Structure 1
Amino acid sequence: MIYRDMNTADYDAAYELWENTEGMGLSSADAREEITLYLERNSGISQVCVREDGTLAGTALCGHDGRRGYMYHVAVSGDCRGLGVGRALVARCLDRLREQGIVKCHLMVIAGNEQGQGFWAGLGWQRRDGILLYSQDV
């Protein structure tokens, strides 16, 4: 497996992985243009895992606002689960955040995504109660 920074050339394969990942929520914010801007604003933080044959095995979108880090779309293809790919992607993203002086990272998991909740709990992430998420299209 090869781990490296995510770039815009990874978009098509990444989007296909996200579409085929149970519990993954996609929206217009995941369009090519939006992801390209996100990667440019957060250069060198998001990560991918690529098999030796060049196919994408996993992704982790990650960035920060100067104060807190945020992780999105951590996804691993079904045939690569249980091999530590997700753990490695998360660790690489957190290393990049630390290098930029970010000391805390947040992420969101869809309420019904039991597998995702189990993954994050298994990595030691703490579930926060009492916080509600509000969104509005601008």
Structure 2
Amino acid sequence: MTIADYDDAFKLWSETQGMGLRSLDDSRKGIDFFLKRNPETNFICREGKKLVGVILTGHDGRRGYIYHAAVHRDFRRQGIGKALVDRALTSLRKEGIRKVALVVYKDNLRGNGFWESLGFTLREDLNYRNLSIDPENI
């Protein structure tokens, strides 16, 4: 994925039920910053010119993190999501990352089912905590 894919990716994220988007983090500037920091770990899938799948993946040198994985509703159940995840995990392994985390809203049944089908387990021993240090990042 490159910043040239941003408009199509943002449109797909916006149309995907259960996707949480933030005003600054997911702006063109925010995604450009993320892509520059993680140039080899983000992927898209196109059917012709139409973007039908996207996954943002990055790491901090220790853990990998998956964000905003989405497949267009008309192209689901064709292996696109799994292929994007496989590609992202392969890229993280090449960078020496051995463990990956992600966040899914509890009420996103489709998303939770997808990640469970790929072997991602639910951690019940942790509390996820969040603090926005920029009040404009809603």
TM-score, scaled to structure 1: 0.94
* Uncovered stretches (5+) of structure 2, i.e. residues with no partner: 134-138
Cα shift at 1:134: 1.4
Q: What's 2:21 paired with?
A: 26
- Segments of 4+ moved more than 2 angstroms: none
- Deviation, 1:130, is 2.3
- Map of 2:56 onto structure 1: 61
Q: Deviations over 1:13-44 (max 9, x none)?
A: 00000000011111121111010000000011
Q: CA RMSD in A?
A: 0.7
The 5-angstrom pairing of residues 1-138 of structure 1 reads: 6-28=1-23, 29-51=25-47, 53-138=48-133
Name the count of aligned residue pairs: 132
- Partners of 1:85 and 1:60 lie apart in 2 by 11
SS at match of 1:89: helix
Listed one character per residue, the Cα deviations across residues 49-72 of structure 1 (whole Å, up to 9, x for unaligned) are 011x21101000000000000001
SS of the residue 2:123 aligns to: coil
| Secondary structure class of the residue paired with 2:70 | strand
- 1:99-123 CA deviation, whole Å, 9 max, x = no partner? 0000000000011100000000011
- Corresponding residue SS for 1:30: coil
The CA distance in 1 between the partners of 2:107 and 2:132, in whole Å, is 23
